Amino acid sequence: MSIVASLSSLASGHATTPLTLLAKSEFKPWLQQQPAAKDWLEASHYSGTGTALIPQPQGGCLALYVCESLDDPFACGELSASLPATDYVLTEDASAERLLNIAFGWGVGAYRFTRYKENSKPQARLLLDDAGLVDKANQQIDAINLVRDLVNTPAQDMMPAQLSEVTRSLAEEFGGRFEEIVGDDLLTQNYPMIHAVGRASVHSPRLLDVRWGNPDSPAVTLVGKGVCFDSGGLNLKPGNYMRQMKKDMGGAAHVLGLARMIMSSGLDIHLRVLIPAVENAVSGNAFRPGDILPTRKGLTVEIDNTDAEGRLVLCDALAEAESEHPELMIDFATLTGACRVALGTELPGFFCNDRSVARALSDAGEAAAEPVWQLPLHKTYFEFMKSEIADLVNGASSPYGGAITAALYLQAFVENTPWVHFDIMAWNLRKLPGRPVGGEAMGVRAVFQYLNERYS
């Protein structure tokens, strides 16, 4: 990990480099008090933003980094790679909130996915004295990096059985209880949709189930779409759309990352995590367009398109979650391209059936510097999800408002429970500070901020 707990963890005689972190508004006042630094920076044509190394009279260098705002959790996201690979200590006092942002950004920026390609290049480390703050930062860093690792892992090594192993391990680490329903047992225990979507794969479909916390505490249930690879089924995806479908279990990765954050912080809730884990494959027993399939709730669904499978596995999991009447249900899913068209790939969209929850969640996103955007559950669009011969169809009759119609389909399986549905990309298409190209957690910190405010 790129953050260590205290100066005492350094080896004897190991030198450290002082590091000054400044927002742009703080740079000029600081510079007026540093005449030697001012002369050096002017001579080296420093632009007033980014990093600089300033020689010190006593030897060594002062590292300087100026950014727009240190209140941005990702402001320091490039420092572990852009600074020379040594250990750094901060020269300026900062509030606990700012220090947490600095530590978090530094830590997530140091992320590397090295399962298949070694990268042993040294990185800069940040040393902090406050072990409690470091632990708090690492709780978030570990959760974000868990999401990234899961999404980045190719389907060959992240099928339902492997996702089950990760989920079981996480539950055991924090003293939770893990159960799963596998293969044909999904039929006997009335999860017909999860079975139908996953039955064509040699990798048996599963429902993963974790419980953690005091049963007398407020109940919160997380549901994550765990389609470990999505070929599109018989409505086979074109190659360019299939290329990154290892990330179609991004919803499952998100709820596991969020669960890690919740459990490691000891939040006073009774947590349940449900993950329908399947591969949407093609074989002789694959479900077909035109089939009418039952659901756990008892509604029947006419299959319009086998590539709209995420909502099918989610509906059984949501029906099970609803049966226990938790205080709150939240699902994450890489569900629709329509949401990406509406909001782009970097802004998580969410739907919610409770105005007070939606407002508080939006506010929490702003507080966590992770904006999330509410989209409407526009009821009249539900007409597009009706079938002449079944209760529902899984593909809307209109090509417009696809994220909304998908959310309305899911809402049919949620009755009275406050519910949030996140439609996410789970993938960075471009490199940003602290956010490399590849798997990414989106909305997790916003939701944790909301849960922490509500249940602390």
- Residue 117 sits at φ, ψ, to 5 deg, of -145, 115
Contact 276, 296 (CB under 8 A): no
Residues in the chain: 456
Q: Indicate if 121 belongs to the active site.
A: no
Q: Smallest Cα–Cα separation from 277: which of 153, 160, 426?
A: 160
> Rounded CA gap, 449 and 370, in Å?
10
The string over 153-177, giving b where at least 16 C-beta atoms fall within 10 Å of a residue's C-beta and e elsewhere, is bebeebbbebbbebbbebbeebebe
Among 311, 340, 435, 445, which one carries the catalytic annotation?
311
Give the tokens for residue 169: 């391990």
Q: Indicate if 311 belongs to the active site.
A: yes
Among 38, 98, 237, 454, which one carries the catalytic annotation?
237
Q: Smallest Cα–Cα separation from 392: which of 323, 322, 320, 297?
A: 297
The residues carrying an active-site annotation are 237, 311
